[in-house]
């Protein structure tokens, strides 16, 4: 056996090897050039006739060629026949076929020479050749041939070829007859085969597929219907001949019936499961589908519109005082960023109320002692701005915007072009012709010559487009120079001067400086030989003379007449300057008008005028470790940073505009249009709070105010928010923020992975639990079916036994279940046909699962669910049962009952009396309980469900069922109990994921909305919000005139002008040139959807924001959401989680009992009478408040009036009585509650929260009598407050209530005299960083006292290094001026003026120590105020001492400008910047 297997294996190996060789030969033949006609052809190949190489390949795949010589010969015949067919017929492919055949024969000859003969001799049979030969034979003149064919034909008989031709014609006609086309069968072939009986079998072929008739071909093309299968005739069965056959046939039929029954049950179960799954799988669907369904099923408009959806419900918090509604989005964004990136910023987060309080902080208007800490911005604002500035400035991305204001426009000669041009120019070539020998021969004081040469050195470093700077240097030198040739030369150099192109002047000045320095080296302290110096001067004069001879006389020339007219020009200089200035103004206006029409050449905005902060800042970008970024300078640094950011945003906006216009093939905009767009850019780039209208203050004006040295507190609340908004936007784009987000993303990936694993585990457990419940229900159903079957059979046996008396009743009762099942064959068959646990359908199983869950929820074996209408019958039955029990005691002597019996009797009587006396109150209580149950089911939270079930139990909506020993309950209570089990299960899952969710939330990426409703209104919840508020963001409804504001909903219907902000978009840049009106309108509508969903507004549109904090508000949001929608289902689940997480507590902030006694027992006789009247009123109303335990929603008029009368006469009441005059009731009033954070540790720190009065009640207070008097109880009113912060419940007495109402009105109106001295934001200290210094000193870090101390510290650091620069030290010498100054700065520096005086003293001391100014330095011709007011001159101001010399200032003008800025400053920040500038210049 093993030898046989090995032989077969060896044979198989040889066959595979032979097949590989054949395949190789076939592949080489396939790849021959021009082999396409032989690869495939339209002839159908068969086993005997191979027409193409593809057929040979199929034979190789099918293993047709046998192993050995026979297989090779057959392969050679087939592959040679492919070519011999063309060679023998002499077709147009015969030549190529002969060449290919020869090459194939060479390949076959390598295998065996005999194969060549097989390949060249075989030719396949071709029916088309037979047809052509037949036609040739018919037309041939050879009579023998004609006779030979006629001999073989009978009368009327056709040949096979004729039959094939006729069949093809018939097929074409039939296809056309049934509706087809003749061309459909053009590729078909026909073959007629003669049978043994002499008939012909005609078949049609197409691509190796055979059709036996024309009908089959038509069916293939679906032109005729398919043939129906023939009906099978039922065979008649014979009747059984005897009883045995009949019984056998009956058993067969019974088995068949059982099979059919089970199959039917299985099919019904599958159908039922499918229907149930289809109903459940319909939802959730897209919310847009629900909107369409509501429009179709209901009236013309859906019941819930965008104006009455859940997002439009009136919120608990619509805004804050001083914060406009359109600023709420930016307020939340900035607050969320500062809290989310708190670790990256090293800034402790604060709650939203404290953040708003810090933004809207204003110093108190009081006549008392000056408190420096209250007249500076809160510490939190200083810490926040410093954290943002440090994050931005130390970030690499700040290089893109810090230097943006130094960029210049390319409309003239840009900076880069000027630099390149300056580098390429040879300054040794003169541009003005002058007698240089005469210039040197003119006598002039060497000191004056050195002075005007030094003044002209500024031109060397100036750029060609800084014309004002160059002209100013020439004017200063011209005022000093005494050489008339030089004076004439300088005036001639200004002939071609232009503000934006002063290259001619620069070349002329630099040439003069270089030549004079070369000719007179003795001016700069060099010790040179006089003879050598004169020789060098003569050489230079000769070189210059040669250059002057080469110059054209038509150019600029300084002649002797220019020297004579010099004095006259000097005398008329002022008048000429005025005329020239007027003419220049006219020319500049004309030039500006012409420039406005020219096309722009660059996206760089026009260079802004340097602000005062820019003059005081160092030339380089400040670094974080420098002393310039501190608690004094942050407002002005923030203003300078915002100005730079705005300039950068303008350039980016210009680049976008240019790219859009270039992409659309539009012409570049003109300079005038570009300037208009830059002016409106701040109204287009930012959000609503920044992009207000043109006539209002915008963020650019606020930043300029800070850059000019104004106080930060002079800005409004909105302006402060705008400054923060711009800084936060830049922080979002910083690399540091990206690194934090990227790191959090990587860490979040692991947390999300763990959370997904936990969710999968929870889902797996839920599936397993559901599977267990399903299997348990199926087992219970199967047991019930078996139990019913046993009971049924037992009853049948009893009935049968009554007729036959075969067994006794005892025997039947003692029969076991197995005995009954095995009683007879019918019982066995019926038992076998009982439903198995898996045969029950889904609906039956669900009913049983619910029943089991009910039993587990109520902890009872049987639960009877009834309707609310059946409770009355239950009460009557209970009364009858109790009365029946009571009748059992009628014939019994009471004295014989004993203690226990008497108690039972009293209890029965009391229960009967209570049931009979409380039907009305109980029915009302039950209605309220049912309503609570429905709301709790809608909410789905554990807390609300437990409270509702507790109320339902007290209202007797469930009880013990005496008849069954189980429990009865109302259907609503049953549903609530089951929902409670589900909610507890969900809560367990949430608690299990709580740590993972907290870990994931720490790895923040971005704040995402918790969901959207059907109208795509977004709902937000911020992680930093301790109160778990939900903010709703929805768009206003525009242009709906007939819409009414529904009660309980916000008015979202607005006119377009009421909610739009900022400048409109320039939409012409977006439209394709030459587009149609329809496409233009469609595209604009699409692009405008960025601003509003209707697409009809081309600018920013306000979004409505409202905050929901209370439990009632959150329930109201979730109540109107539809679970069938995918978006609203997810949103509803997140709202339920928010409700579960919100810890709503009750806080009692009433005064102590002693305080209440004092307020109730002190006062005049009138107060005593009023108190007695009030007590009588309280006694009358006692039955209305459930013994003082429940709160009422009305009826506090008398208590409020009494409280107001008492407080009005109290001296401790600080609020005006007009705030509470006319108040009838406090219910619904808004309050601002003051709460001490920690009375024990920090009693001066309080929190202020707004809320609403929702109810009141009477609170009993014990009053101990004196001596033997009996203790009495006195009542006082207590009001219930629901705070906006988390819906916390607070209880206030009358005095606290009135103060809270007055406090809220003052706070709401932004009263200047109202100030919360103990607010928590005023005591903020940053524990994550020390941007303002130590925590103990943070509140005083911006005061003049601390600036004085800083000045002393910096002076001590620098004085050691500069005290030896001069011999005449009048500062630290024996005069004692330094010690007096130090003592003054340490002890008496309490106001700004003292610090300012100290700074001037320090500057003068250091100025003298560094040597002062040389006597040759000319005094400035223009005052410091005029220099700063002149925009062109302000560009030339340089306060930084760039050159390394011992002088504190570059020029006298620089010092005067600095002193003027310091004298006019009104903030410690500017003085701190000036102090830093002084020390930088000293170093």
Q: Calculate what percentage of the chain has a pLDDT beyond 70.
A: 78
Bond preceding residue 1177 cis, omega within 30 of 0 = no
State the chain's mean pLDDT as an integer.
77
Interaxial angle between packed helices 243-281 and 842-858, expressed in degrees from 0 to 180 and rounded to the nearest 10:
70
3-class state of residue 762 by DSSP: helix
Q: How many helices (H) and strands (E) would you count in the chain?
A: 57, 19
What's the angle, vertex CA 1008, arms to CA 1030 and CA 689, rounded to 5? 75
CA atoms within 13 A on the CB side of 589: 5
Chain centroid offset of residue 450 CA = 66
Chain centroid offset of residue 107 CA = 73
3-class state of residue 1280 by DSSP: strand
Q: What is the pLDDT of residues 24-38, one digit of tens each?
A: 888 888 888 888 888
Inter-residue contact 1289 to 1281 (CB < 8 Å): yes
Interaxial angle between packed helices 717-732 and 328-340, expressed in degrees from 0 to 180 and rounded to the nearest 10:
50
Q: What is the pLDDT of residue 756?
A: 79
Phi and psi for 1108 in degrees, rounded to 5?
Answer: -115, 120
Check residues 1365 and 1044 and name the one with the higher pLDDT.
Answer: 1365
How confident is the model over 1038-1047, as a mean pLDDT?
Answer: 63
Give the CA-trace dihedral at 1435, 1440, 1445, 1448, to 10 degrees.
110
Q: What is the pLDDT of residue 955?
A: 81
Closest CA to 1138 of 1107, 1114, 1105, 1112: 1114
Q: What is the pLDDT of residue 696?
A: 53
In this model, does residue 546 exceed pLDDT 90? Answer: no
Q: What is the pLDDT of residues 759-773, one digit of tens each?
A: 788 888 888 888 888
Q: Return the CA Rg of the chain.
A: 53
Q: What is the pLDDT of residues 1084-1094, one digit of tens each?
A: 888 888 788 77
3-class state of residue 242 by DSSP: coil
d(CA 642, CA 722): 10
Closest CA to 91 of 122, 128, 119, 134: 128
Q: Provide the 8-state DSSP code for 1033.
A: E
In this model, does residue 1386 exceed pLDDT 70? Answer: yes
**What is the spatial order of strands in the sheet that 1242-1263 belongs to?**
1146-1148, 1289-1292, 1272-1283, 1242-1263, 1230-1238
d(CA 1367, CA 1284): 71
Decide: residue 1279, CB within 10 A, 0-12 exposed, 13-18 middle, 19+ buried.
buried
In this model, does residue 134 exceed pLDDT 50? Answer: no
Find the distance separating the first CA and the last CA of the chain, reported in whole Å: 108
Q: Which helix (H) or strand (E) holds 882?
A: helix 871-887
In this model, does residue 576 exceed pLDDT 60? Answer: no
Q: What is the pLDDT of residues 259-316, one digit of tens each?
A: 787 777 777 767 766 665 555 556 677 777 777 666 555 444 445 677 777 777 888 7
**What is the spatial order of strands in the sheet that 863-866 belongs to?**
863-866, 967-970, 958-960
User: Which whole-number Å values give the CA distances from 806 to 760, 810, 811, 820, in the listed order?
Assistant: 64, 12, 10, 16
User: Which whole-number Å values give the CA distances from 1483 to 1359, 1409, 1446, 1477, in the listed order?
Assistant: 11, 13, 9, 10
Interaxial angle between packed helices 573-597 and 671-679, expressed in degrees from 0 to 180 and rounded to the nearest 10:
90
3-class state of residue 1259 by DSSP: strand
How confident is the model over 1222-1242, as a mean pLDDT?
Answer: 82
Chain centroid offset of residue 883 CA = 69
Closest CA to 924 of 890, 968, 884, 956: 956
Specify the range with the lowest mean pLDDT, choosing from 386-395, 869-878, 1045-1054, 1367-1376: 869-878
Q: What is the pLDDT of residue 1084?
A: 84
Dig out the tokens for 815 from the structure. 């029969």
**20-29 exposure pattern, b = at least 16 Cβ within 10 A, e = fewer:** eebeebbeeb
In this model, does residue 469 exceed pLDDT 60? Answer: yes
Q: Which helix (H) or strand (E) holds 833?
A: none
d(CA 54, CA 52): 5
Choose the most confident range, by mean pLDDT, from 358-372, 492-506, 901-915, 1252-1266.
492-506
Bond preceding residue 215 cis, omega within 30 of 0 = no
Q: What is the pLDDT of residue 571?
A: 45
User: Which whole-number Å values give the CA distances from 882 to 864, 961, 1019, in the listed order?
Assistant: 21, 14, 56
Q: What is the pLDDT of residue 1216?
A: 75
3-class state of residue 1100 by DSSP: strand
User: Which whole-number Å values give the CA distances from 1366 to 1375, 1377, 1449, in the listed order?
Assistant: 15, 16, 16
In this model, does residue 637 exceed pLDDT 90? Answer: yes
3-class state of residue 924 by DSSP: helix
The residues near 775 (Cβ < 8 Å, ≥ 6 apart) are 837
Q: What is the pLDDT of residues 1068-1087, one digit of tens each?
A: 777 777 777 788 788 888 88
3-class state of residue 1399 by DSSP: helix
Q: What is the pLDDT of residue 596?
A: 64
Check residues 390 and 913 and name the one with the higher pLDDT.
Answer: 390
Specify the range with the lowest mean pLDDT, choosing from 92-96, 789-793, 929-933, 1159-1163: 1159-1163
3-class state of residue 556 by DSSP: coil
Place of tokens 């220049």: 584
In this model, does residue 1288 exceed pLDDT 90? Answer: no
Inter-residue contact 959 to 866 (CB < 8 Å): no
Give the CA-trace dihedral at 12, 15, 20, 24, to 10 degrees.
180
d(CA 895, CA 893): 5
For the chain, the residue count is 1483
In this model, does residue 351 exceed pLDDT 80? Answer: yes
Phi-psi region of 208 (alpha: psi -120 to 50; beta: other; left: phi over 0): left
Phi and psi for 670 in degrees, rounded to 5?
Answer: -80, 170
Interaxial angle between packed helices 484-493 and 467-480, expressed in degrees from 0 to 180 and rounded to the nearest 10:
160
Q: What is the pLDDT of residues 698-754, one digit of tens each?
A: 788 889 899 988 999 989 888 899 899 999 999 988 888 888 888 877 777 777 777
Kind of pairing, strands 1289-1292 and 1272-1283?
A: antiparallel
Interaxial angle between packed helices 1392-1409 and 1377-1387, expressed in degrees from 0 to 180 and rounded to the nearest 10:
160
């Amino acid at each position: 056996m093993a030898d046989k297997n090995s032989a077969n294996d060896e044979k198989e190996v040889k066959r595979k090897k032979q097949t590989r060789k054949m395949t190789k030969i076939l592949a080489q033949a396939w790849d021959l050039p021009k082999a396409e006609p032989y690869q495939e052809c339209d002839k159908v190949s068969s086993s005997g006739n191979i027409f193409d190489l593809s057929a040979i390949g199929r034979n190789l795949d099918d293993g047709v060629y046998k192993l050995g010589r026979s297989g090779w010969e057959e392969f050679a015949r087939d592959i040679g026949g492919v070519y011999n067919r063309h060679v023998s017929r002499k077709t147009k492919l015969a030549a190529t076929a002969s060449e290919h055949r020869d090459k194939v024969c060479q390949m076959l000859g390598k295998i065996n020479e005999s194969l060549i003969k097989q390949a060249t001799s075989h030719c396949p049979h071709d029916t088309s050749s037979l047809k052509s030969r037949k036609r040739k034979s018919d037309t041939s003149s050879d009579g023998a041939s004609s006779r030979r064919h006629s001999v073989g034909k009978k009368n009327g008989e056709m040949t096979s070829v004729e039959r094939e031709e006729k069949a093809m014609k018939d097929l074409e006609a039939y296809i056309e007859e049934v509706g087809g086309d003749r061309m459909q069968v053009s590729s078909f072939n026909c073959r007629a085969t003669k049978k043994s009986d002499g008939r012909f079998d005609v078949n049609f072929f197409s691509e190796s597929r055979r059709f036996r008739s024309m009908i089959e071909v038509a069916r293939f093309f679906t032109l005729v219907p398919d043939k129906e299968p023939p009906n099978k005739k039922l065979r008649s069965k014979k009747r059984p001949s005897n009883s045995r056959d009949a019984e056998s046939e009956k058993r067969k039929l019974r088995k068949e019936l059982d099979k059919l029954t089970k199959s039917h049950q299985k099919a019904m179960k599958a159908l039922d499961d499918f229907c149930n799954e289809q109903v459940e799988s319909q939802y959730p669907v897209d919310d847009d589908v629900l909107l369409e369904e509501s429009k179709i099923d209901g009236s013309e408009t859906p019941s819930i519109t965008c104006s009455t959806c859940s997002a439009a419900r009136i919120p608990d918090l619509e805004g804050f005082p001083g914060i406009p509604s359109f600023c709420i989005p930016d307020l939340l964004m900035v607050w969320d960023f500062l809290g989310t990136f708190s670790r990256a910023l090293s800034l402790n987060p604060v709650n939203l109320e404290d953040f708003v309080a810090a933004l809207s902080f204003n110093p108190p208007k009081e006549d008392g002692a000056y408190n420096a800490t209250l007249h500076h911005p809160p510490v939190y604002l200083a810490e926040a701005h410093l954290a943002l500035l440090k994050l931005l400035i130390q970030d690499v991305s700040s290089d893109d915007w810090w230097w943006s204001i130094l960029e210049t426009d390319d409309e003239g000669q840009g900076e880069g072009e000027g630099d390149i041009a300056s580098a390429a120019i040879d300054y040794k070539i003169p541009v003005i012709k002058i007698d240089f020998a005469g210039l040197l021969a003119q006598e002039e004081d060497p000191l004056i010559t050195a002075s005007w040469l030094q003044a002209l050195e500024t031109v060397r470093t100036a750029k060609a487009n800084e014309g004002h700077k160059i002209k100013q240097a020439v004017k200063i030198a011209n005022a000093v120079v005494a050489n008339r040739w030089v004076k004439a030369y300088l005036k001639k150099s200004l002939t071609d001067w232009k503000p934006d192109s002063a290259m001619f002047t620069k070349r002329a000045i630099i040439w003069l400086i270089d030549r004079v320095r070369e000719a007179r080296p003795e001016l700069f302290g060099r010790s040179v030989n006089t003879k050598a110096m004169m020789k060098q001067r003569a050489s230079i004069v000769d070189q210059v003379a040669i250059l002057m001879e080469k110059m054209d006389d038509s150019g600029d020339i300084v002649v002797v007449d220019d020297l004579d007219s010099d004095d006259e020009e000097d005398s008329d200089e002022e008048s000429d300057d005025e005329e020239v200035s007027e003419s220049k103004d006219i020319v500049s206006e004309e030039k500006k008008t012409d420039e406005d029409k020219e096309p722009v050449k660059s996206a760089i905005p026009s260079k802004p005028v340097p602000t005062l902060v820019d003059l005081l800042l160092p030339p380089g970008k400040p670094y974080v470790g420098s002393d310039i970024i501190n608690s004094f300078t942050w407002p002005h640094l923030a203003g300078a940073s915002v100005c730079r950011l705005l300039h950068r945003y303008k350039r980016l906006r210009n680049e976008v505009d240019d790219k859009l216009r270039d992409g659309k093939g539009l012409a570049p905009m003109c300079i005038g249009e570009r300037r208009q767009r830059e002016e409106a850019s701040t109204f287009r780039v930012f959000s609503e709070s920044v992009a207000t209208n043109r006539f209002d203050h915008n963020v650019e004006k606020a930043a300029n105010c800070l850059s000019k040295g104004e106080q930060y507190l002079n800005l409004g609340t909105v302006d402060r928010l705008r400054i923060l908004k711009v800084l936060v936007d830049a922080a979002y784009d910083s690399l540091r923020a990206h690194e934090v987000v990227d790191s959090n993303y990587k860490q979040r990936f692991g947390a999300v992975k763990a959370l997904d694993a936990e969710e999968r585990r929870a889902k797996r457990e839920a599936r397993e639990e559901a599977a267990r419940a399903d299997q348990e229900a199926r087992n219970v159903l199967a047991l019930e079916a078996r139990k019913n079957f046993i009971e049924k059979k037992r009853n049948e046996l009893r009935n049968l036994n009554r007729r036959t008396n075969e067994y006794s009743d005892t025997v039947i009762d003692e029969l076991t279940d197995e005995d009954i099942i095995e009683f007879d064959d019918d019982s066995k068959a019926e038992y076998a046909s009982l439903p198995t646990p898996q045969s029950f359908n889904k609906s039956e199983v669900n009913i049983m699962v619910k029943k089991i869950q009910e039993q587990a929820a109520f902890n009872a074996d049987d639960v009877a669910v009834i309707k609310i209408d059946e409770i009355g019958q239950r009460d009557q039955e209970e009364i009858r049962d109790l009365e029946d029990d009571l009748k059992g005691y009628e014939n019994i002597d009471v004295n014989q009952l004993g203690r226990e019996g008497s108690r039972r009797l009293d209890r029965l009587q009391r229960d009967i009396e209570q049931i009979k006396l409380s039907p009305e109150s109980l029915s009302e209580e039950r209605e309220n309980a049912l309503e609570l149950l429905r709301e709790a089911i809608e909410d789905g939270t554990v807390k609300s469900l437990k409270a509702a079930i507790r109320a339902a139990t007290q209202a007797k909506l469930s009880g013990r069922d005496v008849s069954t020993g189980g429990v009865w309950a109302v259907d609503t209570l049953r549903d609530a109990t089951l929902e409670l089990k589900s909610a507890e299960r969900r809560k367990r899952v949430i608690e299990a994921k709580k740590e993972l969710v907290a870990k994931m939330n720490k790895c923040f990426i971005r704040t995402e909305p918790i969901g959207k409703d059907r109208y795509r209104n977004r709902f937000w919840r911020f992680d930093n919000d301790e109160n778990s508020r939900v903010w709703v963001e929805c768009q206003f409804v525009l242009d709906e005139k007939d819409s009414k504001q529904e009660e309980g909903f916000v008015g979202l219907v607005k006119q377009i002008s009421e909610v739009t902000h900022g400048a409109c978009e320039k939409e012409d840049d977006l439209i394709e040139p030459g587009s149609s009106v329809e496409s233009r309108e469609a595209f604009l509508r699409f692009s405008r959807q960025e601003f509003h969903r209707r697409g009809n507004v081309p600018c920013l549109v306000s979004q409505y924001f409202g905050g929901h904090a209370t439990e009632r508000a959150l329930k109201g949001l979730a109540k109107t959401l539809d679970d069938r929608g995918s978006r609203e289902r997810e949103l509803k689940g997140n709202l339920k989680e928010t409700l579960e997480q919100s810890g709503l507590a009750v806080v009692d902030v009433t005064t102590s009992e002693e305080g209440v006694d004092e307020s109730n027992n002190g006062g005049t006789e009138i107060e005593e009478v009023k108190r007695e009247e009030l007590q009588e009123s309280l006694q009358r109303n006692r039955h209305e408040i459930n013994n003082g335990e429940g709160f009422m929603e009305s009826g506090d008029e008398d208590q409020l009036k009494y409280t107001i009368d008492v407080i009005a006469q109290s001296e401790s009441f600080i609020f005006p009585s007009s705030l509470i005059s006319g108040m009838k009731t406090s219910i619904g009033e808004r309050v601002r509650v003051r709460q001490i954070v920690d009375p024990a540790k920090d009693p001066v720190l309080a929190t202020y929260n707004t809320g609403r009065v929702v109810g009141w009640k009477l609170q009993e207070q014990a009053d101990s009598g004196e001596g033997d008097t009996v203790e009495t109880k006195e009542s006082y009113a207590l009001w219930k407050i629901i705070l906006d912060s988390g819906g916390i419940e607070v209880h206030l007495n009358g005095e606290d209530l009135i103060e809270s109402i007055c406090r809220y009105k003052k706070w709401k109106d932004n009263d200047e005299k109202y100030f919360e001295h103990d607010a928590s934001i005023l005591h903020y200290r940053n524990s994550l960083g020390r941007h303002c210094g130590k925590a103990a000193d943070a509140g005083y870090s911006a005061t003049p006292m601390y600036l004085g101390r800083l000045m002393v510290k910096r002076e001590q650091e620098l004085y050691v290094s500069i005290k030896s620069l001069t011999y005449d030290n009048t500062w630290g010498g024996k005069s004692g001026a330094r010690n007096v100054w130090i003592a003054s700065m340490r002890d008496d520096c309490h106001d700004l003026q003292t610090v300012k005086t100290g700074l001037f003293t320090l500057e003068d001391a250091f100025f003298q120590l560094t040597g002062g100014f040389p006597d040759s330095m000319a005094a400035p011709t223009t005052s410091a105020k005029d220099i700063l007011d002149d925009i062109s001159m302000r560009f030339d101001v340089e306060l930084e001492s760039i050159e390394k010399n011992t002088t504190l200032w570059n020029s006298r003008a620089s010092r005067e400008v600095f002193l003027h800025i310091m004298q006019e400053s009104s903030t410690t920040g500017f003085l701190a910047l000036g102090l830093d500038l002084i020390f930088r210049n000293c170093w």
